[in-house]
Structure 1
């Protein structure tokens, strides 16, 4: 799990919650069920079982892999529409190509993030490049859906290709954790992702036995999702492991700790820390459309059927059925 690393974390800015900051308790720990997405790549449904009031403004998150593909096995998605929200694709290991009906697209690889604001709508495809399909190899990432407030749902689509070299790197006071701030801010240190809905997205790597207690905005919710390894969440040290999400209650700091012993395949605890300011608007979702009312959902389907969200390019690098 390379993502972005540094030789000496102690050379980085150090962050920690202020003494006396109110610790957020752990309200629940849920285990993500496994499934398949697109043309059959394995995912964990990270937010399954979590009440939406603890998720808002997030909608869903899939952990894609970790999977080591044999030659010819790598899969992607067919062309599909989106409207009314943002997709955030963070690639930890491997490589992914993406393309849309408006001519946008690109390639993201280890530590890169592709932030797509679907807004008023477009057609989109994601797939591994032919070289990965031919050779096989490791693939691991996440895709997060972030809701847009009603005033932004019909804005023009927009991309942000955030290279791993641009993320804000921080550490804990003892250097036992590497914190990658992708979006939002942590203790005044801002990540490169530009958000319409205020959120924070941090990928933390904790060495065995390391603990972080981070300042966290009181108007944000808080979630820790384990990508690899095992540890605990909260000052009460609630156990968490690969594929589990801890939902935090209110407070001004959150705590995550790595177990002293990890398995040989996963030397560290890898965890995503997410939080956002709830939008608190009605949400109507069906498949790839996330709107405020049923009537807006019906309009989205009508627009899609009539080609108003775009058409698949006649010449493009990915087939209509994906791979």
Structure 2
């Protein structure tokens, strides 16, 4: 159960119902997310791992962390590690996570909060549950998304955003059957609080059984929908979609051979559906990805590794090794 909710979405600003005949996007592909482990051993579903990279641009990866109810002594995080060339977005649906980085950013996120870290030219950071949570256990559920940076911004200065759940834009579907939490980007004239280097939209929606959510969507953005839990259908062709699966909608800007038809995307629920919807303007540049670095060329990756090994990506704050 998401921590951020409202009793009646009809009390919120409502998304418009598209006029009859308005074209909507079809589904290009549906894939299931493989499971794995990250950091010190917490379970993840790798939401984008089975999708062709050409469909994902400007996104690199997204992990669903949990949902797991840890016993005492079980909660785990990630040790200190470097990043360069992209942004990490950690959205905590339920639970608590501490963040600390070598640029002075840090804090605790919980129950609908988001930390948005622009690694840019380079940074060291770690994410871990607070010690009290390790001792007593508890619920842990969230996502981490990696957003690529264009080559011209890969060496930008690092930045940290602490986005509280209270600042997220809350919207209702036209009939009140769905609640939308808009974290970043614009939707029907409403803006999320996240400041993005690459134009994107990111939201988390809860769709009630039998309800249909219609989201107006920019034609120059790709569109992806990942189901955290529940089941339903998506797109003009009503493709089935269930927990742990991701749908790729058609439409990739002006790329040759890929349709831009469709002014909105639809998501319907057969059982309560928790879904993350994201999209962005494709960067259209070569991607060289190795571990914690996302650059344009192999030479840039080698330079990032050398800079990390020589301590140029930052210093762990005193007393936090």
Range into which the TM-score falls when normalised by the shorter chain: over 0.9
- Please give the alpha-carbon distance, in whole angstroms, between the structure 2 residues aligned to 1:22 and 1:244: 24
Offset, 1:213: 1.5
Matching residue of 1:291: 295
Stretches of 4+ moved more than 4 A in 1? none
Alignment of 1:202-217 (within 5 A): 202-217=203-218
Counterpart-to-counterpart distance in 2, 1:29 and 1:8: 31
Residue in 2 aligned with 1:275?
279
After the TM superposition, which residues 63-212 of structure 1 pair with which residues of structure 2 at under 5 Å, given as runs? 63-212=64-213
Gaps of 5+ in 2: 252-261
* TM-score, normalised by the number of residues in structure 2: 0.95
The 5 A counterparts of 1:294-313 are 294-313=298-317
Deviations 1:78-125 (A, max 9, x none): 110000000000000000001012232110000000000000001110
Is the 1:289–1:297 contact (alpha carbons within 8 Å) kept by the matching residues of 2?
Answer: yes
In the alignment, the residues of structure 2 paired with residue 104 and residue 162 of structure 1 have an alpha-carbon distance, to the nearest angstrom, of: 12
Contact preservation (8 Å) 1:16, 1:212: no
Deviation string for 1:4-63 (max 9, x for gaps)?
A: 111221111111353132210011100001000000000000001111111000000000
Q: Which residue of 1 aligns with 2:241?
A: 240
- RMSD across aligned C-alpha pairs, in angstroms? 0.9
Picking from 256, 264, 273, the partner of 1:253 is: 264
Secondary structure of 1:278's aligned partner: coil
For structure 1, the residue ranges without an aligned partner over 5 or more in a row are 263-267
- 1:279-306 alpha-carbon deviations (Å, 9 max, x no partner): 0011111000001111111110000000
Post-superposition CA distance 1:226-276 (Å, at most 9, x none): 0111111112211111110000012211010000xx3xxxxx210011010
Q: What SS class does the counterpart of residue 63 from structure 2 fall into?
A: strand
Residue in structure 1 matched with residue 28 of structure 2 by the alignment: 27
After superposition, what is the alpha-carbon deviation per residue over 1:120-171, rounded to whole angstroms, capped at 9, x for unaligned? 0011100000111111111000000000011110011001110000000111
Kept after mapping to 1: 8 A contact 2:31/2:247: yes
Deviation sequence 1:173-226 (CA, Å, 0-9, x none)? 110000010000111110000111100001000111111121100000000000
What does residue 60 of structure 1 align with? 61
Paired with 1:224 and 1:279, the residues of 2 have a C-alpha distance of 20
Whole-angstrom CA distance in 1 between matches of 2:48 and 2:2: 24
Does residue 6 (structure 1) correspond to residue 17 (structure 2)? The answer is no
Structure 1 residue matching 2:13: 3-state secondary structure: coil
- For the residues of structure 2 that align with 1:228 and 1:161, how far apart are their CA atoms? 26
Which residue in the other structure is 2:16 paired with? Answer: 16
Give TM-score, length-normalised by structure 1: 0.94
Q: Which residue of 2 aligns with 1:265?
A: none
> Aligned partners of 1:55, 1:66: CA distance in 2, in Å?
24
Does the aligned pair in 2 maintain the 1:201–1:273 contact within 8 Å?
A: yes
SS in 1 for 2:300: helix
- In structure 1, C-alpha distance between the alignment counterparts of 2:178 and 2:58, rounded to whole Å: 27
Inter-CA distance 290–17: structure 2 relative to 1 (3 Å threshold): farther
Q: Distance in 1 between matches of 2:141 and 2:246?
A: 17
